[in-house]
A and B are shown apart, each in its own frame.
Chain A
Amino acid sequence: MRLKTWILLLPLLFLSSCFEFIEEISFETEQAGTFELTLNCSQSRVRLKNILKLDTFMGYNLPEQYEISNKLYEISNALKLAKGISNIDHNSDNDQFIYNIKFHFDSIKNLNIALNLIAAMESKIQRLPYMNLYEYSDGSFKRLQVPPDSLVQNSRQDHIKLFEGATVTTIYRFKKTVENVSNPNAVISKSKTAVMLKQKVTELATKPSLLNNTIRLK
């Protein structure tokens, strides 16, 4: 399936405007932990189901539902070969349109390599540059900005506006306590061991740096 199809699986949601994209990292040490990505389109499932019956929508090719599940399976298989990645698990709830992938990583470097591997699998036509999404140095964990030609930015601006209500949430859990965060929208948990940041997709489309965050740990 083409990258375009995957990028534009997301715009399908804009008619109902609601989906959740959740990125979670639970650190067990400074470097190792569990990474989890969840796409929850449950709110839009009725319309999605109808839209997916079409071959194309607004000029974009649409995948079959089984193709989405197959893609998760392919990604899981590819990750099995990635260095430092283990305990890969994925789930597809085709009734509720909830898709999830979870794996253990032994270092942030290997996590970045694994995420680039997934991006490379999906960008056969339009190669994406190698990017470090996360960094850990000098007691700080950083969530970096994806390149400006990110998937979301590739979509047409008037289509992006139809994502009203859709959100991206990042949750990072640490063994150490959090001293401070650089992103003013980020919230530190009561126990000071976790940070949550929720942003609207429509805003991210024009300003991907909204997910940037530097978390200073004690």
Chain B
Amino acid sequence: MKSKFIYLICLLSVLQTGFSLDLKKCIPNDATYVMSINFGNLNSKSNGLDYLKYIKSLINENSYDYYYGDGYEQACQLVSIKDILEKPSEFGIDLNSQAYIYQKNSQLYSGKTYLFKLSNESVFETKMTTNECSKSKAFITKQTDNGKIIMSEKYVIGINKGVAFIFVNDNNSFELEEEGDGEMENSDYYYYGYRKRYNENTYKDSIYEAEVAAYRVKTDSLLYIKANQSGTEEYSQMVEAYIEIDPEIIERAKLRLKERQEEELRKKIEKLTGDFQTILAEKSLSIASDRNFSRIDKDNNDVIIFFNNPMTYLGKILNPFSRRSNRYNKNEPRPAATTIYTSNISAAYVLNFDKGLVRFKTLNSFGDEAFKMLKKAYDKKPDPNLLKYVEGTNLMAYLSSTFNTKEVVNFYEKCYFEILGNAYFSKYDINIPPTIELFWAMLDKELLFGTCTDRKLFAINGFIETKISYKSYEYDEDFQSKEVTKEKIVKTPRMVLVLGIDNKENALKLFRIISKFSAFTKVKDNVILASASRDMQMNLYIVMTEDAFILTNDAVLALEKQTGYPKDKQIQKEEQKFILSHNMTMRIFTDKLFKAINENYPSESGEMKRISDIATNLGDFIFYDNEMSDNLYITEGTLSLTNSSENSLGILLKLFNRL
């Protein structure tokens, strides 16, 4: 008997596992971005404190449809994601597991989809079908092979095997093109846009709706004749007269309007059902099968944001004619797309909260050709000689970056011209791409990118005092005022930026050109100075040494330490080793920095007290990259906290709550 019971339990659990959906597999592989939040992890790490308010503040549910639809009206909210996060149990949502958000853009629609595990399907369904919005606005429920769909113009809600799918349309309504539009001439595009907006079948604003309602009221009631006979032409008076005699007439008119909207919606759902049925099911081509996504999704991360092929969207930004070309070429065949450099690119950001440590990671993957070029760019190593220009005694923060700028620019050049090559240009714009190419070809790239931009080191190490002047007043014996110029000492962080010189001849040429600007005065043959002014509260020195350009506000370094600091004054050896072993490194000695701010700008203000509070809680922030391999460029960062016995999420929430 006992063994039978165990067998039954096992069978039930196998069935349960067999039937429950893998949320990842429900996300299409062409999603623009995917965000995964492991609520289970965050719940256990937050120490009972409310972290959801920060997630809620990132959710924007009130998108407007600026072009079509209900004339700037906000759509009726069938479901609020913020409410779900606030009261998950009221919605039957299991907010103790992983949830996903993804964006999908297609020819027919674009919008975000939220995927949640359900703890109670029927509670969720009831909540969706009995709220105010579903009572007053058109919505349709439909049973499909892949679960139930509840659809309004703004939302498509799916319920399938214990999973809630909430699609939020980017626009206030689905604007499906009428048949025959495809045959339109390109030159008619603007007219078409106008016509479409004001087409009586698609355009619905409050006036139109009122007219429809009035029409229904008129035709549906014999009272119309009576009212008409009374000689009144005022619509509102007429409606009032109707309501007095037949109070339900408006309700009936509203109901008819809702039925009419549902009729329209039903037509749309026929067109869209195919698409939305598939969102409810696991797919063979899902994001789970994407190599780049799989790489980051295996470690039970707290939060993941994954951008799928961002070049497609970057392309729209980088191509200044994308809006114009999209309008003109709606139905024009595009040139065959070449995507050697711009395809198979993804960017991912991963965030994890550990004991006393916040860890984040970025993973950028590239296609083969792009990777080859970038690998070559990042083969360049940091220069140990530049470290001598930074005094290490009071080091509070530094950033070191080394890569072959020419190679990186070469990569972006290829990407950009590939994007332009794949874009459609009207006959009026056809000469613009070669003009850009010509302009680019004429630039002296050796001077711009081969002189001093490969090896960079920036550091903040202490504070220096600078004298600045200001206007004030002095008073004579009779308190008559006189405007005078006074001086005061201000403290500014001591900063140094070192740029390694790769081409001495070009560096000298650049230095001579910059020296000619009126903002600079020559202090030495190789030192120029931009004095503190009303726009810049510090003196800025530019020094050209044998191997570097130095930009600093530190007069001692600029004038007396041009060969660098002695070894015992430089950055500590361990730190140097760390800097030299990565192309990119950054470290902020957070406690040291905040303490220095506190000491140098003493104040009783609340802000300064908060800074002190932060300073006592934060440790160092470290950021570095890894060697490029397997088509990946990975950077990692950690923020350590002084309390290493508690989870960092709980500590940070406590800190934020105090601020």
Residues of A within 8 A of B (CB): 14, 17, 20, 22, 24, 40, 42-43, 45-47, 49, 95-96, 98, 156-159, 161-162, 164, 171, 173, 189-191, 193-196
Could you say which of A40, A164, A171 contacts B479, with CB atoms under 8 Å apart?
Answer: A171
Could you say which of B475, B478, B603, B609 contacts A193, with CB atoms under 8 Å apart?
Answer: B478
A162 to B470, CA, bound (A): 20
**Which 3 A-B pairs give the minimum distances between C-beta atoms?**
A158-B606, A162-B605, A42-B471
A49/B534 in contact, CB under 8 A: yes
* B573 beta carbon closer than 8 Å to chain A: no
Instruction: Give 13 A-B pairs besides A162-B603, A171-B475 with Cβ atoms closer than 8 angstroms.
Output: A14-B605, A22-B481, A42-B470, A42-B471, A46-B536, A158-B605, A158-B606, A158-B609, A162-B606, A171-B481, A173-B478, A173-B479, A196-B475
Chain B neighbourhood of A20, CB < 8 A: 472-473
B470/A189 in contact, CB under 8 A: no
* B251 beta carbon closer than 8 Å to chain A: no
Could you say which of B479, B535, B604 contacts A194, with CB atoms under 8 Å apart?
Answer: B479
B606/A159 in contact, CB under 8 A: yes
Chain B: interface size category: 20 to 34
Given A42-B471, A45-B470, decide whether A161 and B604 contact each other with a Cβ distance below 8 A: yes
A70 to B371, CA, bound (A): 55
B471/A40 in contact, CB under 8 A: yes
For residues 502 through 560 of chain B, which have their beta carbon under 8 Å from a beta carbon of chain A? 534-537
Chain A neighbourhood of B606, CB < 8 A: 156-159, 161-162
For residues 238 through 288 of chain B, which have their beta carbon under 8 Å from a beta carbon of chain A? none
A25 to B488, CA, bound (A): 30
Chain B neighbourhood of A171, CB < 8 A: 475, 479, 481
A157 to B606, CA, bound (A): 8
A159 to B604, CA, bound (A): 10
Chain B neighbourhood of A96, CB < 8 A: 470-471, 534
B479/A46 in contact, CB under 8 A: no
Could you say which of B472, B475, B481, B603 contacts A43, with CB atoms under 8 Å apart?
Answer: B472
B605/A190 in contact, CB under 8 A: no
Interface string of B368-407 (1 = CB under 8 A from A): 0000000000000000000000000000000000000000
* B607 beta carbon closer than 8 Å to chain A: yes
B473/A162 in contact, CB under 8 A: no
Minimum Cβ distance to chain B for residue A204 (Å): 16
For residues 14 through 63 of chain B, which have their beta carbon under 8 Å from a beta carbon of chain A? none
Minimum Cβ distance to chain B for residue A73 (Å): 22
A86 to B551, CA, bound (A): 54
Best-surrounded residue of A46, A98, A189 (most CB of chain B within 10 A) = A46
Chain A neighbourhood of B472, CB < 8 A: 20, 40, 42-43
B534/A98 in contact, CB under 8 A: no
Where chain A touches its partner, the secondary structure class is mixed
> How many residue pairs, one in A and one in B, have C-beta atoms under 8 Å apart?
68
Q: What is the chain B residue whose CB lies nearest that of A163?
A: B605
* B477 beta carbon closer than 8 Å to chain A: yes
Q: What is the chain A residue whose CB lies nearest that of B532?
A: A46
A54 to B535, CA, bound (A): 15
Minimum Cβ distance to chain B for residue A101 (Å): 15
A57 to B426, CA, bound (A): 45
Q: What is the chain A residue whose CB lies nearest that of B602?
A: A164
Given A20-B473, A96-B470, decide whether A189 and B536 contact each other with a Cβ distance below 8 A: no
Could you say which of A43, A157, A191, A193 contacts B488, with CB atoms under 8 Å apart?
Answer: A43
18 contacts between A and B (CB under 8 A): A17-B603, A42-B472, A43-B470, A45-B534, A46-B468, A95-B534, A156-B606, A157-B606, A158-B605, A158-B607, A158-B609, A159-B606, A161-B606, A162-B606, A162-B607, A189-B477, A189-B478, A189-B479
A159 to B603, CA, bound (A): 11
Chain A neighbourhood of B607, CB < 8 A: 158, 162
B477/A46 in contact, CB under 8 A: no
Minimum Cβ distance to chain B for residue A46 (Å): 4
Chain B neighbourhood of A156, CB < 8 A: 606
Minimum Cβ distance to chain A for residue B478 (Å): 5
For residues 459 through 509 of chain B, which have their beta carbon under 8 Å from a beta carbon of chain A? 468, 470-473, 475, 477-479, 481, 488
Minimum Cβ distance to chain A for residue B484 (Å): 11
A98 to B607, CA, bound (A): 26
Chain B neighbourhood of A157, CB < 8 A: 606
Q: What is the chain B residue whose CB lies nearest that of A26?
A: B480
A173 to B475, CA, bound (A): 13
Best-surrounded residue of B535, B605, B607 (most CB of chain A within 10 A) = B605
B479/A161 in contact, CB under 8 A: no
Chain A neighbourhood of B536, CB < 8 A: 46
Chain B neighbourhood of A42, CB < 8 A: 470-472
A157 to B470, CA, bound (A): 28
Minimum Cβ distance to chain B for residue A208 (Å): 20
Could you say which of A46, A159, A193 contacts B535, with CB atoms under 8 Å apart?
Answer: A46
Chain B neighbourhood of A159, CB < 8 A: 605-606
Minimum Cβ distance to chain A for residue B477 (Å): 4
B604/A196 in contact, CB under 8 A: no
Minimum Cβ distance to chain A for residue B463 (Å): 15
Interface string of B595-616 (1 = CB under 8 A from A): 0000000011111010000000
Chain B neighbourhood of A158, CB < 8 A: 605-607, 609
A45 to B535, CA, bound (A): 8
Given A46-B534, A49-B534, A162-B607, decide whether A98 and B479 contact each other with a Cβ distance below 8 A: no
